[in-house]
Amino acid sequence: MRILIISPVDPAAVARLRERHDVVCAYNADAATLRAAIVDRDAVILRSGVKLDAAAMALAPDLRLVVRAGSGTDNIDLDHLAARRIALVRVPEPGAQAVAELTFALMLALARGVRTADAALRQGHWAKYEIEGRLISGKVLGVVGAGNIGRRVGQIGAALGMRPLGCVEHPTPEATAALERAGMALAPFDRVVAEADFLTLHVPLTPSTRYIVGSDVLARMKPGSYLVNMARGGVVDEAALHAALVRGDRLRGAALDVHEHEGEGRRSPLADLPNVVLTPHIGASTVDTQRQIGERVVEIVEQHAGALPVAVPA
């Protein structure tokens, strides 16, 4: 199989693919380089941070497989895939635990003032009696998007003594049962927003979720609450979030692993605020997770190349 890899994936997986396939790597290529590289390819492997648009895919008449080494698909032209019946296979499972764990790393950093404490100590200032920390135990954990990742967040929160409250776009008896097994209660979005001490976001970026957290939602959040965005940058109106954080009448702080504008040289509009923690979309970026994703990518490619008889789960 002729494969184009346009995002960095586990090196061991790349080495294994090279043993049996024609592999070209063009990590984070610009549009011109991508279009030149894709022309004769059968498959494309990618993560977030790069765009696979219709213009590029139209140049690849033999393209029959796109592997998303992760979960989100907002960087892929899904209409083009459907029109040409190009297979799209995602690898959502390995990253779920990593994203859930980072959710709590950011949540705890906010609750305990880790950023402020670290900065002070690096300057030789012993701010022990100035840092005002808060427990997360006993607090309401609001999970917007209580799917694969969100349920794990709820489970961890419950284990830490939080009270998880989750919402999903299309509630069903099956969704309710899955949340109950995870120790979470299912509630409407508005109730989750109003009651959460910590509101975490885990939804895909779609027309219905773009700016789902804007000025109106921020105004309805519980006074003294925190927001953690682990979904996609376009889910939160960052200008409205900046204004809410400056006012301080509702939000005490926010943490974002995803941003409206990502990549080298981009500076978050929230970067100057002391009550914000920012990370560069590293939710699934653990060595363990990427190794697991790499192994799954190899399995998917081999199956589509006819080497494995097993079925790929949807």
Please, what's the b/e burial string for 189-216 (b: 16 or more CB within 10 A of its CB; e: otherwise)?
eeebbbbbbbbbbbbbbeeebeebbbee
Query: Which tokens sit at 67?
Result: 């592997």
Quick: pLDDT tens for 43-76: 999 998 899 999 999 999 999 999 999 988 999 9
pLDDT for position 174: 83
Instruction: State yes or no: pLDDT of 314 exceeds 50.
Output: no
Quick: pLDDT tens for 178-200: 888 888 999 999 999 999 999 99
The CATH code of the domain at 94-278 is 3.40.50.720
* Residue 299 a catalytic site member: no
Quick: pLDDT tens for 123-134: 999 999 999 999
% of the chain exceeding 90 in pLDDT: 87
Q: Which of 232, 252, 296, 304 is catalytic?
A: 232
Please, what's the b/e burial string for 93-110 (b: 16 or more CB within 10 A of its CB; e: otherwise)?
ebbbbbbbebbbbbbbbb
* Residue 202 a catalytic site member: no
Instruction: State yes or no: pLDDT of 42 exceeds 90.
Output: yes
The CATH code of the domain at 2-90+287-304 is 3.40.50.720
* Residue 281 a catalytic site member: yes
* Domain 2-90+287-304 identical in fold to domain 94-278: yes
% of the chain exceeding 70 in pLDDT: 97
pLDDT for position 165: 96
Q: Which of 68, 281, 296, 304 is catalytic?
A: 281
Q: Cα(197)–Cα(165) distance, rounded to whole angstroms? A: 11
Lowest-confidence region among 165-179, 200-214, 232-246: 165-179
Q: Which of 262, 295, 299, 302 is catalytic?
A: 262
Domain spans of the chain? 2-90+287-304, 94-278
Quick: pLDDT tens for 96-119: 999 999 999 999 999 999 999 999
Q: In angstroms, how far is the first alpha carbon of the chain from the final one?
A: 22
Query: Which tokens sit at 277?
Result: 């923690």
